[in-house]
Structure 1
Amino acid sequence: MRKLTYGMNLSLDGYVAAPGEDLGWSVPSDELFQWWSDRVGATGLALYGRKLWEAMSSHWPTADQQPGATPAHIEYARRWRDMPKVVFSSTIDKVDWNTRLVTGDAVTEITRLKSEDGGPMDIVGATLAAAAIRAGLIDQYVLVTAPVLLGGGTPFFTALDSWVNLNLVETRTFSGGLVLTRYETKR
């Protein structure tokens, strides 16, 4: 059975995007960018919600061809394009870059994908992750908390139907005061 991890950068008050989907507060240091790039390189399958898919697919497919692209950005762009991806959406009808579109029930498809053999899966996008959390499908949570308060926006966690008990398995501090915490779900 595949493991499913939900991980993103978030503000100290728990938001992954400021009002208006503003991500300007979350520009990673070189060290953190490399950590996320290595994670993408080790991911067997990434599950995207529509909003984050649209943001990522508008930049990363050609980021390595942009003037001034750093070696780290070139590497990330290659890893992102090569990584198998599934996008869950009922409003778009086409995806590219090693990606498959699912328009049906996300929980049913994620459950099926978890039961397959293969490498670890990452779920990215707060709305999609909320459905997986409520269904008890998340095995790990990776939070990279930035020392900023946004006061509103898109929350990392949404309302839950019941408690989810976790075990802390890793902490790490990055430059700029960002703190990574990784938790496994108690089963």
Structure 2
Amino acid sequence: MRRLTFAMNVSLDGYVAGPDGDLDWSEPSDELFQWWSDRVGATELALYGRRLWEDMSSHWPTADQQPGATPKHREYARRWRAMPKVVFSSTTCPVDWNTRLVTGDAMSEIRRLKEEDGGPMDIGGATLAAAAMRAGLVDEYVLATTPVLVGGGTPFFATLDSWVHLDLVETRTFPGGVLMTRYTAHD
């Protein structure tokens, strides 16, 4: 059975994007960027909501071909294109780069994917991840917490119907005071 992880950069006050979708506060250090790249390289299947897919697919497919692309950015772009991806959207949107589109019941499909044999799955996109949290499908939470208060925006955690007990299994500090914490859910 596969494990599902929700992992994102988050502000100290709990947001993955500030007001108006602002992400300038979350610019990763080289070390943190490499850590994220290594996660992409180890992820067997990435699950995206439509908006995150649109953001990622507008940049990473050709990021390694852009003038001034660093070796780390070229590596990330190659890993991102190679990583199998599923985009969940109630509307049709173009997908490519080792990706398939699911327009039906996202939670049923995620349950089906979790029941398959295979390696780790990551889920991204606040709306999709919130639905998976409420459905009890997220096994692990990884927060790369940046020491900034953005005051509002898109929250990392969804409003839940019941408590989810977590165990802290890893911490790591990155330059700029970013603290990565990894938690697993338990019954």
The TM tier, using the shorter chain, reads: over 0.9
The one-character-per-residue Cα deviations of 1:126-149 (angstroms, maximum 9, x if unpaired) are 110011111111110000000000
Counterpart AA for 1:152: G
* Secondary structure in 2 matching 1:110: helix
Counterpart AA for 2:78: R
Counterpart AA for 2:68: G
* Secondary structure in 2 matching 1:60: coil
Q: Report the counterpart of residue 105 of structure 1 in structure 2.
A: 105
**Kept after mapping to 1: 8 A contact 2:134/2:158:** no
Structure 1 residues 8 and 64 mapped into 2: Cα distance closer, same or farther (>3 Å)? same
Give ranges in structure 1 of 5+ residues lacking alignment. Answer: none
* Secondary structure in 1 matching 2:61: helix
* Secondary structure in 2 matching 1:9: strand
The one-character-per-residue Cα deviations of 1:47-68 (angstroms, maximum 9, x if unpaired) are 0001111000000000000000
Q: Report the counterpart of residue 185 of structure 1 in structure 2.
A: 185
Q: Report the counterpart of residue 38 of structure 1 in structure 2.
A: 38
Q: Report the counterpart of residue 95 of structure 2 in structure 1.
A: 95
Matches of 1:112 and 1:168, distance apart in 2: 27
Scaled by the length of structure 2, the TM-score of the pair is 0.99
Q: Report the counterpart of residue 115 of structure 2 in structure 1.
A: 115
Counterpart AA for 2:13: D
Matches of 2:10 and 2:75, distance apart in 1: 24
Scaled by the length of structure 1, the TM-score of the pair is 0.99
The one-character-per-residue Cα deviations of 1:6-64 (angstroms, maximum 9, x if unpaired) are 01000000000011111111110000000000000000000000111100000000000
Residues 28-37 or 86-95, more deviating: 86-95
Q: Report the counterpart of residue 75 of structure 2 in structure 1.
A: 75
Matches of 1:7 and 1:49, distance apart in 2: 14
Q: Report the counterpart of residue 47 of structure 1 in structure 2.
A: 47
Matches of 1:93 and 1:123, distance apart in 2: 18
* Residue 172 of structure 2 is aligned to residue 172 of structure 1: yes
Q: Report the counterpart of residue 143 of structure 2 in structure 1.
A: 143
* Secondary structure in 1 matching 2:62: helix
Report the CA distance between 1:119 and its aligned residue.
1.1
**Correspondence list, 1:52-67, <5 A:** 52-67=52-67
* Secondary structure in 1 matching 2:113: helix
Q: Report the counterpart of residue 131 of structure 1 in structure 2.
A: 131
- The root-mean-square deviation of aligned C-alpha atoms, in Å, is 0.6
Matches of 1:50 and 1:157, distance apart in 2: 18
* Identical amino acids, percent of aligned pairs: 78
**Kept after mapping to 1: 8 A contact 2:133/2:158:** no
Give ranges in structure 2 of 5+ residues lacking alignment. Answer: none
Q: Report the counterpart of residue 157 of structure 2 in structure 1.
A: 157
Counterpart AA for 2:60: W
